[in-house]
Each structure stands twice: as structure tokens, then as C-alpha cells.
């Protein structure tokens, strides 16, 4: 079918629009050579990963209202249907022709965000896209077989107004060492600005300097920090009313460096946004990470696309500046092994897919490997390939763990937090390291902010994408590869938190064979004040570091977390009512909330109503009571519990709420003052068996979390 015979389409207005712009757009389709028969029609398909406001055709007074009309001799029936079309463009505006047919040259007008009957328009997605396409397909003969027009209309989406400023500096350096300072300005949705001008003042406890920015992300020069310890830079741009800070920097004489990675994301060729070139350029130039890899779903990766990925990976890899690993996501179903991120040490390697499910180019499937064990067999004795267990949709099945090729577990991504997989690995006695990654689909690998939840489907990227901190000496492929293989890494939920965990001369990821007591030393430094700092032996918290004094015992802390299921639709909704018996609520302070539609409301002197949801991460609230002699009545769909406050201490009382790891915790704790960094040394002189995993978890007041790879004891 020749696409030029299928008509043409335009959009008005066209051009460039800032993220989250609310407006009205009209798609104008001119019928092609064949016309459209009674029972035929057109569809407009888009990627459900775009978090534009939900379209609808039933409520003319609401946002996202869609209408359609024609000047031809027929009637139109319009509807919006989710999961109507084929991955990756599943959502569809369906315009059916009936009671007549359309001729060549007739026109169909589709209005998106129609305000004619009181609707508020339509808000576009919250992340930039060079070419956001409204794909138009035509069924001219009423067969339900659709073909695309030659050229679908597009708009360009760009960042919004400046809302945040931060600085990115190496997380570790030596006293007196000159290190690079990069300043970044982002909009309210965490998108780096392409254009920005302003004078930024940077201050430490040692010096103060001013830098003139001519763009939104800029390397402004080198700085020197003297004196060992944790340093932070404070930033202000008075003319734009912006203030922010840098990541924490550990200045130490130790010859240890640390680098940041996000090795998991996709582009428009599979199920993401943008080109492969744009993907790596964003990671290097805007996310300002050090290490990256592309990870498209293999059943969509054509031979042509794989050649492009190989070419761009090689082009962007530059020792000492930016490390790019070649990779892809083996995407078999969970019973056959589940998603794994495959990484190669070298360039121009073969791809062994799980299948050719969405590849229809006639290429051979002889090299496909299914189940996952077949992939391990194909890799054979290779030592230049590794795989990371992933949980996004087809969650990794640890029954297929390979001591040779497995070794890293993704504990957090844009999909949520998967601490349950880490704990399962510990219960199985596996030796592994943890990483944080994004699985970004929005063209922002290394800097993935939560998407708007208005278009909720099986996948909702409602948390920040994760990152991995890697301890090693140099920024090159071989050194990073060795560090990952040794598990000298830790995961965060997206913040550049510092986490250093040791046992004498061993660091995170190491294996110790000793009968001596385990003396664990940990240092955590946050980008926000610390909420929790805990040491775990296997899956049990054996030490909780005291971060606040017992100066206000009339404050209670209530926290909920977890997921419903392990697979895609994992989010747990938490509509909560908290009633206080025998006391009133003096004040309250929520923490960990990320979305605009989540909230805590005081509905009575002794009652709070809460709307929230968790994707494995936490939400919580501190409540100040007028009288300690009170009770807490906690009501939610997952658990109902009545708790006497007098029975609580600063040690959390946990209540299982079902699901995979749904739980509610109650304790006595004030919200502040809390430190930005803290450290401890704990000696565990009574290990209960010959085999243990010791790991540290640090949580900030904003909910961001860091997990260390375990230090393993094997007597």
C-alpha cells in the first residue's frame, strides 16, 4: 500500500511548545485516493509513556475533550481507547465513518482539548521531545487493517521556565585538587533548560565566587576544596529568584574516586523517546553522569537499529570523560527468566534476542536465545559480558541466576523500588551487588523525574529514576567493568547521596572469610536531611542509628510503603484516614510525597485524610499530639490498626499490610532537627551462621534512598 495514496494531515497550531502547555490543537486530515468506506475510519495513535492529560470523548466540560467532524457526506463516531493499537503506540483516538462514505479531498477535523462546551483544553506531556508525533493511520475499506499516511504531523516540546538550580561536582576528591564545577538549571518538571542567562553566586564555607551562565547546563570552570570532610556548594541566582546546592562532596586523602551511572533506558526505536544519539548526548551533557548504556527491548531491536546502537555507543565512549557500554535488554517472560540488562565490555558484539516478536524485517531468528538459560549457554566461557536483573514489567526470575554472568540486581528504577528482590537474593544465599537505574522512556536517562499520573496504565513512571555510585580509580571501560564485577557499587533512587560502607579493609561488595567479629563502619551524606540510617544483617535491621534526640516525645511518626504485586501493575493506592483518640493534632509534617495529586488534609481536630500511593517507596507523616496518652486509629484498604501511643518507642513497630511487602510502621520521633550527614561504627560479634550479608540503607526526608551492596561473610 503506497502511503502517498492515503491522504495527508496537518496540525494547528504547530511549532514549539513548552512542557505541560495547555491548549487546543486541531488535526486536519485530507482523504486520499481511495476515500473511506462506511465502516472504515482513521486512528490517531500516541505512546502511552507520554504523560499528557488523559484524552476523553464523554465529558465536554472536562480537560482532554476530543471531538471530530467532517465536510464529507458521512457521519463520524469518535472515541478514545487505551491499549487499542500495537506497542509502542497503544493509545488511540478512533474516528469511525458511518451512514455514508468519504471521497478523495474530503476532510476530517479532530479537535484535541475542545473548549466549545466548557472544557479546559489539553495539557501536553511534561518532558521535552524534538519531534512529538501524532501518528495517523487509515482504514479506507473498513477492514480494520490500518496503514500510515506518508507524513504524520508533529510538534516540538521544549523545557519550561527556570524553577530549580543545582551544581554537579565529583562526589569524592582530594584536598587541594582542582575539580570541575557544572551548574544546571531545570524547570518544574526537572528538565534541563537549553537556554538560560544569569549570574550565579556559588558559596562554600571557604570561598565565594560568581559565574555568568549563557545556557541551562554549563561547565563554569574548576574549583578547589581544602580540608577533609563533607562539603556542599550553595547557589543563588537573585535575578531569577533561584537557589539550590550541589551534591555532597567527600574531601579525603584516600586515593579513591567515585563515578555515577545510569545504564538502563530506551529510545523511540523501541518504547522510549528520541534518537540513540540524543540519548547518549543527554546523559553526558545534561544529566552529567559518567557512565551510560542503552537498553532497548530486544524483541523490537532490528538488525539496522542494533548497528546504530553499536555505532553510537562506540562514538560516545571516551576514556576519562564518558564511558558508554554496549547493551540491550533481554526481555523474555518471567517464567523464562524475566528482564535482564545485558552489558558488553567490547564494541560491535552480537545481539542474542529472546525472540523476534515485533521484528518483521525478514531477519533470521537463529541467534535468538530462550529461555534465559539458553543465553547463558550461548555466552559460554566469555568473561566480557554481564547481566543485571531488572524488575520493570517482566520481573527477573532468580531461579535463572548465573554465578558467572549474573551479579548485579536493580533495586530501584523509574518503575519503583524493588528492595523485595534484593531480600529474595539474600534469602537464597546469592552473592550480588545492587544498582539504581532509570529504565527511562522519556529521553532523560540519568535525570528522570516522576511523570504525571493522569494517564495511568500498566506502567506508571511515578518516581525518580535511579542511579548507581561506583567506586574505582579511573573512568574507563576496563576499570568500571572490574568495579561492577567486584560489586563495588551502591544504588540510589535518583539523588547523588554519598554512601561509604566498610568492614576493616573490605568495602561494599567484598567477600570476607573470617571468624572475627564484623565491625561495620558507614558514612551517609544526603542532598536533604537524613530520615533513617540502618544496618542490616541479611534481612534484619540490627542497628538503627539515632539521628534525633528524644526532645519531643509527643511527635509520632507513621509510614507506609511497598507494592501490591511484583509485575507491572504494582502500585499500591493508599487512601488513609488517621484518627487520634484522646488527643488533638497540634501540627503535622508529611514526607516522601512526590505527586501533585497526593496530599494530607486535616479534616477535624483529631483526624487526617490522606491520598497517596507507593511503588515500593515510602510515604509518611509526623504528627504532633496534644497528649501522649492517646491512641492512633489507622484505616486503609490494606490494613486497619488501633495503636496505643504509650506503647510506642523510637524503634518502629511494623504491621504487615499484605501485597509483596506492604507495611505500616509506627514510632515516636520528631521531624527535626536532622543532620545532612552521619556515620557509625557497629560491631556484630555474634553472627548466627557461617554466611551473612551486611548492608546499609540511608533514607532522606524527601524519601530518596540509598542502598549499599552487601559485604558478605563466609566463614
What DSSP string runs through 374-388? HHHHHHTT-SSEEEE
Q: How confident is the model at residue 457 (pLDDT cuts 50, 70, 90)?
A: low
pLDDT digits (tens, 9 = 90+) for 623-649: 999 999 999 999 999 999 999 999 999
Instruction: Indicate left, alpha or beta for 562 from its phi (over 0: left) and psi (-120 to 50: alpha).
Output: left
In percent, the amount of the chain with pLDDT more than 90 equals 89
pLDDT at 553: 76
What cell numbers appear for 675 in the block? 543532620
Quick one: average pLDDT of 347-359? 97
pLDDT for 458 equals 52
Q: How many beta carbons lie within 10 A of that of residue 519, not counting itself?
A: 13
Alpha-carbon distance of 662 to 565, in angstroms, equals 10
Q: Which residues contact 382 (CB under 8 A, 6 or more apart)?
A: none
CA atoms within 13 A on the CB side of 425: 32
| pLDDT given for residue 685 in this prediction | 85
pLDDT tens, residue by residue, 249-264: 999 999 889 999 999 9
Residue 63 contacts residue 122 (beta carbons within 8 Å): yes
Choose the weakest-confidence range: 149-163, 193-207, 295-309, 456-470. 456-470
pLDDT, position 552: 64
> Which positions ≥6 away from 504 have C-beta within 8 Å?
519
CA nearest neighbour of 405 among 367, 352, 468, 464: 352
The Cα–Cα gap between 259 and 632 comes to 45
Query: 529474595: which residue's cell?
Result: 424
Spatial CA neighbour of 391 closest among 323, 338, 329: 338
Name the helix (H) or strand (E) containing 693. Answer: strand 691-700
What span, in angstroms and rounded, lies between the C-alpha atoms of 95 and 9? 14
The arithmetic mean of pLDDT across residues 191-204, rounded, is 97
Contacts of 368 (CB under 8 A, 6+ apart): 352, 353, 354, 355, 356
The string of DSSP letters for 626-672 reads S-SS-EEEEE-SS-EEEEEGGG--SSPEEEE-STTT-EEEEEE--S-
Look at residues 326, 305, 282, 591 and name the one whose alpha carbon lies nearest to residue 465. Answer: 282
Beta-strand (E) ranges in 263-356?
291-293, 323-330, 340-344
Hey, what CATH topology would domain 3-158 get?
A: Immunoglobulin-like (2.60.40)
- Say how many Å lie between the first and final Cα of the chain, rounded: 69
Give the burial class of 347: count Cβ atoms within 10 A of its Cβ; 0-12 exposed, 13-18 middle, 19 or more buried: middle
- Tell me how far apart the alpha carbons of residues 470 and 478 are, in angstroms, rounded to a whole number: 13
Q: What is the mean pLDDT of residues 509-517?
A: 87
Residues 371 and 355: their CA atoms lie apart, in Å, by 10
pLDDT tens for each residue of 148-172: 999 999 999 999 999 999 999 999 9
Domain 259-494: homologous superfamily in CATH: Metal-dependent hydrolases (3.20.20.140)
Mean of all residue pLDDT scores within the chain: 95
Q: Estimate the crossing angle of helix 303-316 against helix 276-285, to 10 degrees.
A: 30
At the top level of CATH, the class of 497-547+679-715 is: mainly beta
**pLDDT range class, residue 454, cuts 50, 70, 90:** low
> In 3D, which of 472, 190, 206, 508 has the Cα closest to residue 323?
472
Measured CA to CA, the distance from residue 622 to residue 585 in angstroms comes to: 10
* Alpha helices, DSSP H, located in 412-509: 419-427, 477-485
Q: How far apart are CA 535 and CA 538, in angstroms?
A: 10
The span from the CA of 526 to the CA of 248, in Å, is 7
Residues 225-241, mean pLDDT to the nearest whole number: 96
* pLDDT single digits (tens) 245-302: 999 999 999 988 999 999 999 999 998 999 999 999 999 999 999 999 999 999 999 9
Inform me whether the pLDDT recorded for 1 exceeds 80.
Answer: no
Asked whether the beta carbons of 448 and 422 are under 8 A apart, the reply is: no
User: What pLDDT is recorded for position 450?
Assistant: 92
Q: What is the CA radius of gyration of the chain?
A: 27
686-705 confidence digits (pLDDT tens): 777 788 999 999 999 999 99
What pLDDT score does 687 carry?
A: 74
Higher pLDDT, 515 or 171: 171
Least confident range from 66-75, 265-274, 465-474, 510-519: namely: 510-519
Q: Which one, of 110, 106, 121, 116, lies nearest residue 78 by Cα?
A: 110
Q: Do you find a cis peptide bond into 160, omega within 30 degrees of 0? A: no
- β-partners of residue 408 are 388, 433
Q: What is the pLDDT of residue 455?
A: 53
Structural contact between residues 19 and 158, judged by C-beta atoms closer than 8 angstroms: yes
CB atoms under 10 Å from CB of 141, counted, come to 13
CATH classification code of 164-255: 2.60.40.1930
Phi, psi of 373 (to 5 degrees): -60, -30
pLDDT at 88: 84
Contacts 24+ apart (CB under 8 A), 670-674: 670/548, 670/551, 670/552, 670/555, 670/622, 671/555, 671/557, 671/589, 671/591, 671/622, 671/701, 672/529, 672/548, 673/529, 673/548, 674/529, 674/530, 674/531, 674/547, 674/548, 674/701
- Can you spell out the DSSP letters for 167-179? EE--SEE-TT-EE
Model pLDDT for residues 566-601, shown as the tens digit of each residue: 988 899 999 999 999 999 999 999 999 988 889 999
CA distance 280 to 283: 5
How many degrees, rounded to 5, is the angle at CA 449 between CA 389 and CA 262?
A: 40
Amino acid at each position: 500500500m503506497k502511503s502517498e495514496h492515503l491522504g495527508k494531515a496537518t496540525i494547528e497550531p504547530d511549532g514549539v511548545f513548552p512542557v505541560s502547555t495547555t491548549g487546543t490543537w486541531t488535526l486536519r486530515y485530507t482523504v486520499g485516493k481511495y476515500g473511506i468506506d462506511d465502516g472504515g475510519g482513521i486512528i490517531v495513535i500516541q505512546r502511552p509513556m507520554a504523560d499528557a492529560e488523559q484524552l476523553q470523548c464523554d465529558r465536554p466540560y472536562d480537560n482532554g475533550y476530543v471531538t471530530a467532524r467532517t465536510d464529507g457526506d458521512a457521519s463520524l463516531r469518535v472515541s478514545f481507547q487505551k491499549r487499542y493499537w500495537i506497542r509502542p503506540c497503544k493509545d488511540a483516538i478512533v474516528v469511525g465513518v458511518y451512514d455514508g462514505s468519504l471521497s478523495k479531498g474530503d476532510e476530517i477535523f479532530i479537535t484535541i482539548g475542545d473548549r466549545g462546551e466548557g472544557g479546559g483544553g489539553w495539557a501536553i506531556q511534561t518532558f521535552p521531545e524534538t519531534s512529538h508525533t501524532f501518528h495517523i493511520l487509515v482504514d479506507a475499506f473498513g477492514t480494520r487493517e490500518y496503514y500510515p499516511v506518508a507524513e504524520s504531523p508533529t510538534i516540538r516540546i521544549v523545557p519550561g521556565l527556570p524553577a530549580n538550580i543545582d551544581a554537579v561536582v565529583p562526589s569524592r576528591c582530594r584536598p587541594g585538587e582542582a575539580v570541575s564545577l557544572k551548574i544546571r538549571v531545570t524547570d518544574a518538571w526537572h528538565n534541563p533548560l537549553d537556554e538560560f542567562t544569569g549570574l550565579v553566586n556559588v558559596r562554600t564555607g571557604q570561598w565565594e565566587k560568581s559565574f555568568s551562565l549563557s545556557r541551562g547546563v554549563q561547565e563554569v570552570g574548576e574549583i578547589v576544596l581544602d580540608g577533609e570532610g563533607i562539603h556542599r556548594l550553595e547557589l543563588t541566582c537573585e535575578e531569577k529568584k533561584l537557589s539550590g546546592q550541589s551534591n555532597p562532596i567527600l574531601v579525603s586523602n584516600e586515593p579513591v574516586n567515585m563515578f555515577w551511572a545510569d545504564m538502563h533506558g530506551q529510545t523511540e526505536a523501541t518504547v522510549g523517546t528520541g534518537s540513540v544519539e540524543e540519548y547518549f548526548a543527554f546523559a553526558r551533557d545534561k544529566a552529567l553522569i559518567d557512565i551510560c548504556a542503552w537498553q532497548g527491548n530486544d524483541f523490537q531491536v532490528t538488525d539496522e537499529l542494533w548497528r546504530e546502537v553499536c555505532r553510537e555507543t562506540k562514538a560516545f565512549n571516551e576514556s576519562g570523560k564518558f564511558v558508554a557500554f554496549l547493551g540491550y535488554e533481554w526481555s523474555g517472560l518471567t517464567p523464562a527468566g524475566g528482564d535482564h540488562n545485558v552489558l558488553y565490555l567490547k564494541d560491535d558484539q552480537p545481539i542474542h534476542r529472546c525472540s523476534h516478536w515485533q521484528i518483521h524485517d525478514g531477519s533470521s531468528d537463529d541467534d535468538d536465545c530462550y529461555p534465559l538459560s539458553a543465553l547463558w549457554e550461548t555466552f559460554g566461557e566469555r568473561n566480557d559480558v554481564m547481566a543485571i536483573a531488572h524488575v520493570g514489567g517482566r520481573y527477573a526470575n532468580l531461579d535463572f541466576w548465573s554465578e558467572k554472568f549474573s551479579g548485579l540486581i536493580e533495586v530501584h528504577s523509574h518503575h519503583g523500588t524493588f528492595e523485595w528482590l534484593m531480600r529474595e537474593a539474600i534469602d537464597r544465599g546469592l552473592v550480588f551487588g545492587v544498582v539504581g537505574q532509570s529504565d527511562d522512556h522519556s529521553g532523560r536517562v540519568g535525570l528522570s523525574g516522576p511523570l504525571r499520573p493522569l494517564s495511568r496504565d500498566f506502567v506508571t513512571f511515578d518516581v525518580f529514576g535511579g542511579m548507581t555510585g561506583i567506586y574505582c580509580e579511573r573512568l574507563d571501560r576496563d576499570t568500571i567493568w572490574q568495579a561492577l564485577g567486584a560489586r563495588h557499587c551502591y544504588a540510589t533512587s535518583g539523588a547523588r547521596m554519598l554512601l561509604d560502607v566498610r568492614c576493616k579493609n573490605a568495602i561494599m561488595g567484598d567477600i570476607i572469610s573470617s571468624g572475627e567479629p564484623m565491625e561495620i563502619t558507614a558514612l551517609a551524606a544526603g542532598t536533604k536531611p537524613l530520615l533513617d540510617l540502618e544496618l542490616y544483617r541479611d534481612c534484619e535491621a540490627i542497628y538503627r542509628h539515632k539521628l534525633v534526640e528524644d526532645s519531643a516525645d509527643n511527635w509520632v511518626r507513621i509510614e507506609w510503603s511497598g507494592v501490591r504485586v511484583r509485575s507491572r501493575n504494582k502500585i499500591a493506592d493508599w487512601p488513609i484516614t488517621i484518627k487520634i483518640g484522646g488527643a488533638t493534632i497540634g501540627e503535622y509534617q508529611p514526607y516522601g510525597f512526590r505527586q501533585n495529586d497526593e496530599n494530607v488534609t486535616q479534616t477535624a481536630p483529631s483526624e487526617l485524610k490522606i491520598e497517596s500511593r507507593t511503588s515500593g517507596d515510602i510515604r509518611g507523616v509526623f504528627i504532633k499530639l496534644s497528649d501522649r496518652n492517646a491512641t492512633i486509629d489507622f484505616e486503609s484498604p490494606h490494613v486497619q490498626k488501633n495503636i496505643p501511643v504509650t506503647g510506642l518507642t523510637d524503634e518502629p513497630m511494623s504491621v504487615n499490610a499484605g501485597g509483596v511487602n506492604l507495611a505500616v510502621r509506627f514510632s515516636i520521633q520528631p521531624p527535626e532537627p536532622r543532620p545532612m550527614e552521619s556515620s557509625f561504627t557497629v560491631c556484630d560479634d555474634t553472627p548466627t551462621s557461617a554466611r551473612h550479608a551486611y548492608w546499609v540503607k540511608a533514607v532522606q526526608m524527601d524519601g530518596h534512598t540509598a542502598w549499599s551492596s552487601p559485604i558478605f561473610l563466609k566463614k
